[in-house]
Amino acid sequence: MPDVDWIVEPGLIDYAEAVARMESHAEAIRTAGAKERIWLVEHPPVYTAGTSAKPSDLVDPGRFPVFRSGRGGQYTYHGPGQRVGYILLDLDKRGRDVRNFVHSLETWISEALLPFGIAAYAVDGRVGLWVDTPEGEAKIAAIGIRVRRWVTFHGFAINVAPDLSHFGGIVPCGLPDYAVTSLAALGRQASLAEVDECLKARLPAFLDRLADGALSKMPDTGAAGS
């Protein structure tokens, strides 16, 4: 494994607590030389608003707690059955290229889903990962990041087996014309632990892409959250 802490948080962790811990560690990476970290968590049901969130996209504000987040993007949902990954890396030493970071993150997730028979892909102008379904394109993973003093935090959310009806309280990522899906909805019975192992196996390749500064062949999204 690369010289990066790989931490899987047991149980559910409150979103506000996770953000506080994440921001504290990001600051420690920059100011105290703390070790970089990949932190995998699962949250109780919560809606989070990114920096581009529109009030009208919060359709049912009383359904779950709402947390205004500093990440890029619009409204999204976190809850049980969804693997959330917080990526705390120092781009000062891995290449000051936020676009490459986002593209490399998309590639990492798409490669991790391949063993489950999921062919996820990026779409120009829509950050995140998408799959084809009989009803059309649907989103299987969201990405929302922030970079402060060249340290990244926030990250991604992969829908493994969440209650997809919970997305009904928002317009996910501000895209009313697109559905949200999951591994379970696509007929893939995978556990969070199995998804974690696939992510872990492909972590070195993700970090190598950052080190090489090589832009992914995936389409250029030109954004930092969705």
pLDDT digits (tens, 9 = 90+) for 71-96: 888 999 999 999 999 999 999 999 99
Q: Is 78 annotated as a binding residue?
A: yes
- pTM here? 0.91
Is domain 5-212 in CATH 3.40.50.720, yes or no? no
Q: Would you state the pLDDT for residue 111?
A: 97
Q: Is 73 annotated as a binding residue?
A: yes
Q: Say which of 26, 38, 58, 173 is annotated catalytic.
A: 173
Q: Would you state the pLDDT for residue 225?
A: 54
Is the pLDDT at 16 greater than 50, yes or no?
yes
Compute the CA torsion angle 160, 110, 206, 156 (nearest 10 deg). -40
SS3 at position 65: coil
Distance CA 143, CA 102 (A): 8
Q: Is 144 annotated as a binding residue?
A: yes
SS3 at position 8: strand
Mean pLDDT of all residues belonging to the chain? 91
- The domain spans of the chain are 5-212
Across the range 162-173, mean pLDDT stands at 94
- Count other C-beta atoms under 10 Å from residue 65's C-beta: 14
Q: Is 77 annotated as a binding residue?
A: yes
Residue pointed to by tokens 């490669």:
111
SS3 at position 63: coil
Distance CA 102, CA 99 (A): 5
Is 198 part of the annotated catalytic residue set? no
Is the pLDDT at 204 greater than 60, yes or no?
yes
